[in-house]
Amino acid sequence: MNEHLVIGLKGTVLTSEERTWLSEKPPAGVILFARNIESPEQVKALLASVRECGGDDIAAAIDEEGGRINRLPWPPFNNRTQADEYGRLYERAPESAVSDLYNDAYEAGTALRELGFTHNCAPVLDLFNSDGDAIIGNRAYGPAIHTVASLGVACIHGLQDAGIEAIGKHFPGHGRANADSHVAVPVVDAPVDVLLQEAESFTLAFSQNLNHVMTAHVTYPAADEKVATLSHYWIHDVLREQMGFAGTVWSDDLCMKGVGSNVHEAADAALKAGCELLLVCEPEGVEKFYEE
């Protein structure tokens, strides 16, 4: 199982336990959060330590969307434009919006690469919905498929050209969800044809070389009783078969309440459903995998 894990770390330096886990049972990658970050030099040193223990090929991810999802509190990360602002600019001047967003993603990607990161959990490809929980809100580029896809692709290409792999999220769409999946199991009550139509923002991004996608901890009862992360229907039938996605499927954090309270069971179910990389972000969840 550990070869599928992307794990969170406790602090700004590796603990002795983390060094042992990384050396003896290396995960596929690590993901950093604000608790792991003090300065550029410290981040570089932390990721160097991770690779010293786990090997040079270990992935290093972060959620650096820009705007309110910002982990690195220094330029160019802490003063980036919020996604919905790009959406409003796109309505007035689409070429300018695409160009500005590409340049922003390229600058951020270059800085991430210099720190030692390989992946960024961005862009958000969810459609904004005024009835949805605020957990997405202004993180979405807008309510229209074409707007979200066009701006999402600009972000993807900017990151990729800087040497960072983009991870589009949250498939098949979190914008309509009625709750925050960190603390509850969100539900989207919409017909299957509407869900598939709105997921076109992902399909369009796949056609422009998006190689990684993250699932949503959301239930869509019209399609399947299971949350998408644990759903063979969404990951295999729709994502793989209907959409033809050939890249890597990442689960959202399996420590979130949207997939229950047992991280082991959630990981097993996500793997069986078709997720290939399993995010386990909280130190307590990571410990359960390595100590039990």
Residue 144, both tokens:
């229209």
Tell me the catalytic residues. Answer: 182, 252
In three-state secondary structure terms, 230 is helix
CB 170 within 8 A of CB 216: yes
Q: Which residues pair with 6 in a beta bridge?
A: 29, 279
Residue 248, both tokens:
């890597």
Q: CA dihedral defined by 8, 105, 66, 130, rounded to 10 degrees? A: -110
First to last CA, the chain: 13
Residues 78, 88: Cα–Cα separation, whole Å? 21
H/E segment holding residue 278: strand 278-280
Residue 32, both tokens:
């950093």
In three-state secondary structure terms, 30 is strand
H/E segment holding residue 6: strand 5-8
Q: Which residues pair with 223 in a beta bridge?
A: none
Helices 16-24, 40-54: axis angle to 10 degrees equals 40
Residues 102, 180: Cα–Cα separation, whole Å? 29
Question: How does DSSP assign 48-82, residue by residue?
Answer: HHHHHHH-TT-EEEE---BTTB----STTTTTPPP
What is the C-alpha R_g of the chain? 18
